[in-house]
């Protein structure tokens, strides 16, 4: 069996290699710090964005008028929705039966062949 050893020759490491390595590590840690800050402050950012959206929609749209519906109209709408949603699935039987199945004797489940015998 042959072994392959990995060796690093310090003579091949020059100043540009060290600068690139340090810059890469700093860039990764900086990105992680920014990501951590964004994650910890996400609730504030979402509240700020929601406030901007609320202000924008209130300024752009006129106030909505609520329709005046009578009790009969509300009842008709509710009945239509109930009938529509009740027809979406198949009718099922609501009868549940229990059948007793007799099993033949099996020595695997018998308690008379227990591990410990009666020690009288």
Predicted local distance difference test score (pLDDT) of residue 44: 85
Residue 99 lies inside a defined structural domain of this protein: no
Report the sign of the C-alpha dihedral through residues 76, 82, 87, 93, in that order: negative
pLDDT at 118 over 60: no
Residue 41 lies inside a defined structural domain of this protein: yes
pLDDT at 120 over 80: no
Containing structural domain, residue 39: 1-59
Torsion of CA 34, 36, 40, 41, to 10 degrees: 10
Q: Give the Cα separation of 7 and 94 in Å (integer).
A: 75
pLDDT digits (tens, 9 = 90+) for 9-63: 888 888 898 999 999 999 999 999 999 998 888 888 888 888 878 877 666 666 6
Tokens of 106: 């099996």
- State the DSSP code for 90: -
Residue 15 lies inside a defined structural domain of this protein: yes
Domains identified in the chain, total number:
1
Residue 75 lies inside a defined structural domain of this protein: no
Residue 11 lies inside a defined structural domain of this protein: yes
Residue 48 lies inside a defined structural domain of this protein: yes
Residue 4 lies inside a defined structural domain of this protein: yes
List, as one string, the DSSP characters of 19-78.
HHHHHHHHHHHHHHHHHHHHHHTHHHHHHHHHHHHHHHHHHHSPPPPPP---HHHHHHHH
Which region among 41-45, 64-68, 94-98, 116-120 has the lowest average model confidence (pLDDT)? 116-120
Predicted local distance difference test score (pLDDT) of residue 22: 96
69: which residues sit within 8 A by CB, 6+ positions away?
Answer: 77
Residue 22 lies inside a defined structural domain of this protein: yes
């Amino acid at each position: 069996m042959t072994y392959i050893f990995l060796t690093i020759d310090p003579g091949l490491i020059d100043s540009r290699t060290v600068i690139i390595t340090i810059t890469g590590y700093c860039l990764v840690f900086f990105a992680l710090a920014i990501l951590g800050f964004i994650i910890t402050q996400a609730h504030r950012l979402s509240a700020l964005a929601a406030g901007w959206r609320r202000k924008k929609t209130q300024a752009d749209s006129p106030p909505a008028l609520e329709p005046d519906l009578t009790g009969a109209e509300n009842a008709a709408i509710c009945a239509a929705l109930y009938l529509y949603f009740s027809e979406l699935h198949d009718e099922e039987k609501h009868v549940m039966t229990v059948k007793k199945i007799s099993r033949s004797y099996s020595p695997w489940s018998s308690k008379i062949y227990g591990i410990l015998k009666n020690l009288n």
